[in-house]
Structure formats: structure tokens, C-alpha cells
Structure 1
């Protein structure tokens, strides 16, 4: 009997050695092999549940189908007259993103930044009252509470006047918060169409890795105006009872072609969840690009397990390797893989000034401590680290490169956002917009304290141990 058990265990390990490394990072493959070696049966079950970081083939084919529609719909957008050589590396960044996502660079986008949490929700709710055709809503965390109630009231008014309202929310991202059941009841009362994304229930989401998440935040109104960024639709304290934590976010209002682009991203998610392929009006992108004297050239970059490539990781790496003068990063969950860590530290070593804004405190234990494990390497390389003071959770996700390019959206700089989460970033060209974002970064700096290498090396031994252990979990966070 024992010989048979050992034989089965050896067979499982041998099969794992052959199959697990396929198309995986060596560090990730070794972590899974170690788990299978220690616990052959349980390790194999865990690998089956969590070992694949892509959606099922059917869902990826649906994403490719939407990409083809977007490519056809945007064929009339002419990039030949756009300034893609200032800075010299910008054109390559645009081509990379177009090849990864099918979405082009388009001019004439009018952008507004919104950094006041409660006021942003009220502003979006007010704009919902202007909708005449469609409202499309997607949030990672959505809850009904005293802060978000005006948003749901505006959805109800829109539905009553004949506007088609569609709502998506991430299943795990939403159901863990107080107000989830009331939110679903409110959606039923409104009478709109709504679905959870990437449901953990097989009869809703199919058989897939249960911790794949849709982390995007999108509100698209008639395909002409869209909001995106880091902010969820939930009270600023995330219903943390007994806690004084307050989230600090940054949202973006878009009017122009990339508003139609954000609507197309919603359509791709709706298609994946419902099987219903809504038709984005092909002229919508071109019609949105009118003769305006002011506006920005922008490009949306969706990423996630529905794509074959890690679009956002490639975007960040290319931008950081291209930087010539300055990089400023704001990321609440900063757990880079080797490629991103090298891109950042190499930038410093060739003379680029790099600053990183992170929170003084964190709301997720393992991510927070895994993040801290990278501070010494960053500080030794010359990165300036700013800790945004408690009780605020700096949740904004953006970076500025030189005086020319801004990236802003929903993506953290950690392995979860690179491989497991559906994310959405916007690439913005222009020094004027960089200046506007840097005003916000200056505000962060005033509310932060700089972390020094001497202070970091003097931290308690127990803290170091916890950070290092948490770092081992980063490949599966």
C-alpha cells in the first residue's frame, strides 16, 4: 500500500515538473513545484484552482472578437498628422499599445481631474442626468450607502426616462462590503440590467480561477463622456467599522474619442459576462473627434486575464526605460516583478530622477508587507520614497514621465494587477496635462514624509522578517 502511495506521489511530482513550468515565470513555477512536492494531493488541487492566470479560451476568443471590432471601428482615425516624435520615444509606446489592444491614439480629448472623493461621486451622479441613450457602469467595489445613494437615484431617474442602464460589478470586490445586498435590491428597484463580473459561482462565471478579478472603474454616458480612474463606488471609509481609514483617489472625466473607447471596454466586459455583443457605433470614435482647438492626444490601454499579454506591465516597462529626466509614481500596492524593478532602478542609475508615493499604512496585510520588502533595494538605487500619512490610504494610480507623458487609471504596480486583474489605463500626451498631475503630486508630497535608507535599515527585526515572508507570497497575490 505504501509503495503505491509513494508511486502515485512520485507520478504527480513528475507530471508537475513537466507541465507546471509551461509559459510561467521560473519563480512562479518553482513556487508551485515546491507546493506540489510538499503536498502532492492538495498542491495539485490548488494548482488546478489557482495555477492559470488567464480566462478560459472561450473568454479570450470573445476579447479578440471585440478587439477586431474596435480595430475596424477606429480604422478611420488618422495618426499620420499627429506629433508622435515628441518625445522621440512616444511613437514606439503608442505602437506597442495599439498592437496589444487594437485601440489607437486619438486627439481632441478633453480631460478633467477629480480628486475630492465624495464630490466626485456627486459630480458623476449629476452628469448621469444628462444621459439620453445609454449609461454603462462598471466598478470593482460597489455598495449602496449614504454616500453612493445619489448615484443610484440618478440611475433610477435615467431608467424612468427611457435610458438603457447596464451595470457590472466585480463579484468578490463587492460582496464583502456592507451594503452589498441593499445595492442589489436597489438595482432591482431601478429596473436596469446588471450582472456580477467574474463570479465565483461556476453556474454564473464558468470554470475558471476564482481570484481573477475585474478591477476596472468605468462610467460611460451615451458613449460621449466617460469617467475612469482609481475610485470605487463606495463610501470613503470602505465600511471599515471602528477604523479611521480614509481612501484618497483620483478620477478622470473624458470627453472625446477615448470616452467612446471606455465605452468599448465596457462592451467587451458585458459581452464576456452575458454573451450579448452590443454594437459600438463604428463612426462613434471619429464623430467624437471634432474640430476642437483644445484637447489631448490619448490612448486607452486595457489589460487583464482576457488578453494573451500583460499589457500594463509592458506599458510601464517601456515607458520607464524610455524616460530621460524624471519619473513620478503613485501606487498603493507596489510589488514589482523583476522586470519592473530593473526598469525603475536602471532609470535611476542612468540619471533619471525617480519618486515613488505609497501609503504610510496599508489595508491589505500581505501586499503591504511584500511592498515594504522592496524599499531597501529602491532606496539604495536612489529612488526617493514618500509615505502618505495615516489615516489615509493613498489609492491613486498614476505616473508622469519626463514633461511629456502621463499614465492614469486603475492599475496597481503589483503582480495581481499585471496578471490577475482586468485593468484600464489611459496614456496622455502633453506637458500641460503633466503639469496638472504634478500639482496633485505636489499635494501628495506636502502630506507625506520621506523615507530614508538610514531609517529603513533601523527598523525592528520582526518587521523585516514579516516583510520577507510576505514577499514570498507576491507571485500569487
Structure 2
């Protein structure tokens, strides 16, 4: 028997084994459409399909990260109970339909609707950086920042300056950034902040095949944008910390984002989301005394936080959107830079249109 004969025999036998094994394995872990796509790829190219499935097949984070996340959620239960007490002490009235969505969101994310909040919408990147700088300049206890893209440029330089000043005067400054979204910053611009005392941590550093508590798939990213100052003032939305023309300056384009500045009980919920991600990445449980403060409940805003992502097994945000589409009666407006709908979302959109709802994308 020649070496070539042995190789082709091994290839043929192993290819059949791969096809048979994956025929049993994949349908148990994916919806029918996704499973059919993977099975077709593996049937045509068994070894290449197996390799690609090993890299991109699972949307779940490594088990170690999930365990950390669940442990932190349990430890935050006292704070979550206080959120609920705050909500019950500040009664509000919602339409039955909205209240139903609030109940669904609470079941998905374990965070209740809160009232007594004050909120302001910021639709300009320069104004967002200016307001955030002002809050950091007044910080006395803590500055917690979580961003997908964090970069040093002419727009964000004042933010770097304020972070340095805050850290040098003894404020706890924690910066959590996505390992790929902020890779330029992590490679070139962390030294000035860490030298001043700012703690910089990478979120979801990528791993190719072997994924552990400290690594994740290349396409599983942390896209959150959260800032919490002294546990009392929060920001969340779609602004990254970067000049808004990034990626499109040559064509005269820029990103148009929105951010909410928040005060009131809802800030504790944003802080809880930050604490979850910080603990998953570092294994460090931050001080409750430094992280939470007694909220000002004088505002009129009713707000609820719904965290989502691969740490949550129920696809929180998509489930809420699909439920809202099915309940829609007149018009739905969806504004997003990325729209890759799966079968469930497409069916919900089609059903709404067939029911006479005007859909604007």
C-alpha cells in the first residue's frame, strides 16, 4: 500500500465519520435554518467545514465566562432587591401594553422598570464628550467606563486629560474596552492613563480555537457603551469615544449616534451591568459602597435597562423586539447601522406588514 492510498483512505473514512457525527450534533444546537447551512457546508467540505464550525459555529461564550457571570448575578441580588424597593416607592402608571413589555424585559434581564429618573438625549459626539468630561471633572469616588471603541484623537483628548486628573486625585477610574474594537488604543495609548492610575482592561480578547474564561470568538464582541460617575450619573447609548467620521472620513461620512444622560434609580442598573462585565473579565468583585449611591428620585422619567449579549441565553433584546413587532398596530420605525435578521425576526416583520402596520427601516 502506498502512502497516497493510505492518505486518501483516511480522508474518505474520516470525512464520512465527520458527516455522520455532525448530522447528529448540529441540529441539537441550532435552529433549522442555521443547522441546514452548516450541514451543507460540512457535507461538501468535511474537514474545512469542521474547522470553520470550530471557529464560528457556536455563539456561546466559554463555560468559564458563563459561570462567572451567573455568580456575579447572584451576588448582586441585594442591590437588585433595592432596585425593586425603589421602584415600588415611586409609583407610576403605564398603559397595559407597555407594562406587559416591562414585565417581559424584567423576566429576561432581571431588572425592573424604575421611575423618578431624569434623562436628557445627546445627539452630538462633541457635546457628548464635553458633558462626560464635565462629569468626570466633578467625580469624587468613581469613574466606570465601558466602550466598544475607545480612541485618542483631537475630539477625545480632553477626556483623556480628565481621566488622568481624576485618577491622580484619588478617584477610582476603571476603563473596560473591547479587545478588537479598541485595539489601536490598547496598542498605543494606554500608557498615559495607566501611569496616572487608570485601570485599563480588555474585554473579550479573541481566541481562535481554544477559548477559556479570558478569551472569546473574534466575532463575539462587547458593543456596550456605558459610563457611570460616582454611582449617581450614567450615560448609555451608541456613541463610541472616537471622532464620529472614523471609517468614512474620505467619503465625507460620519456616524450619527444618540446617548442618554441619566440620573435616578436607573443608574444603579447601569452600574450593575458594568460590574457584571468587569467581574467576568477580571474575577474582581468591586466594592458595593464605592459603586452604588442613594439615588435622587425627583425626576419624572420611567426607564428600564435590558442587558443582552452572549452571556444571556435567551437573546434578550431580540425577544423584546419580536414581541413588540407582533403587538404593533400602526407603525414601527427601526434605525440601526446593522440589520442581519434571522428567521424569527423576518417572520415578525412580515406578519406586521401583512397586518397593515407601516414598517420604516
TM norm structure 1: 0.69
Poorly superposed stretches of 4+, deviation over 6 Å: none
Aligned to 2:3: none
Q: What pairs up with 1:108-123 in 2 under 5 angstroms?
A: 108-123=116-131
How many aligned residue pairs are there? Answer: 350
Instruction: Please say if residues 97 and 301 of structure 1, whose CA atoms lie closer than 8 Å, have aligned partners that are also in contact.
Output: yes
Distance 1:139 1:312, change over 3 A: same
Instruction: Please say if residues 73 and 282 of structure 1, whose CA atoms lie closer than 8 Å, have aligned partners that are also in contact.
Output: no
Shift of 1:255: 0.6
State the secondary structure of the residue aligned to 2:27.
coil
Alignment partner of 1:253 is 2:253: no
Q: CA RMSD in A?
A: 2.3
Aligned to 1:341: 346
Aligned to 1:89: 97
Aligned to 2:360: 355
Distance 1:38 1:203, change over 3 A: closer
Alignment partner of 1:27 is 2:33: yes
Aligned to 2:337: 332
Alignment equivalent of 2:160, drawn from 143, 152, 175:
152
CA–CA distance in 2 between the matches of 1:258 and 1:269? 18
Alignment partner of 1:61 is 2:64: no
CA–CA distance in 2 between the matches of 1:276 and 1:283? 13
Alignment equivalent of 2:110, drawn from 96, 102, 107:
102
CA–CA distance in 2 between the matches of 1:213 and 1:280? 27
CA–CA distance in 2 between the matches of 1:89 and 1:129? 42
Q: Which structure carries more relative contact order (alpha carbon 8 Å, separation 6+)?
A: 2
Shift of 1:41: 1.5
Q: What pairs up with 1:179-258 in 2 under 5 angstroms?
A: 181-200=187-206, 206-238=214-246, 240=248, 242-258=250-266
Distance 1:311 1:89, change over 3 A: same
State the secondary structure of the residue aligned to 1:220.
strand
Instruction: Please say if residues 92 and 115 of structure 2, whose CA atoms lie closer than 8 Å, have aligned partners that are also in contact.
Output: no
TM norm structure 2: 0.90
Instruction: Please say if residues 148 and 181 of structure 2, whose CA atoms lie closer than 8 Å, have aligned partners that are also in contact.
Output: yes
Aligned to 1:299: 304
Distance 1:35 1:283, change over 3 A: closer
Alignment equivalent of 1:45, drawn from 33, 48, 51:
51
Distance 1:284 1:180, change over 3 A: closer
Distance 1:189 1:243, change over 3 A: farther
Distance 1:280 1:322, change over 3 A: farther
Instruction: Please say if residues 105 and 299 of structure 1, whose CA atoms lie closer than 8 Å, have aligned partners that are also in contact.
Output: yes
Distance 1:181 1:239, change over 3 A: farther
Shift of 1:240: 4.9
Shift of 1:241: 6.2
State the secondary structure of the residue aligned to 1:196.
strand
Instruction: Please say if residues 112 and 252 of structure 1, whose CA atoms lie closer than 8 Å, have aligned partners that are also in contact.
Output: yes
Shift of 1:156: 0.6
CA–CA distance in 1 between the matches of 2:152 and 2:11? 52
Alignment equivalent of 1:315, drawn from 320, 323, 328:
320
CA–CA distance in 1 between the matches of 2:290 and 2:160? 30
CA–CA distance in 2 between the matches of 1:97 and 1:70? 18
Shift of 1:6: 0.9
CA–CA distance in 2 between the matches of 1:245 and 1:18? 48
Comparing 317-326 and 216-225, the one that deviates more = 317-326
Q: What pairs up with 1:399-414 in 2 under 5 angstroms?
A: none
Aligned to 1:11: 17
Shift of 1:67: 2.3
* Bigger strand fraction: 1
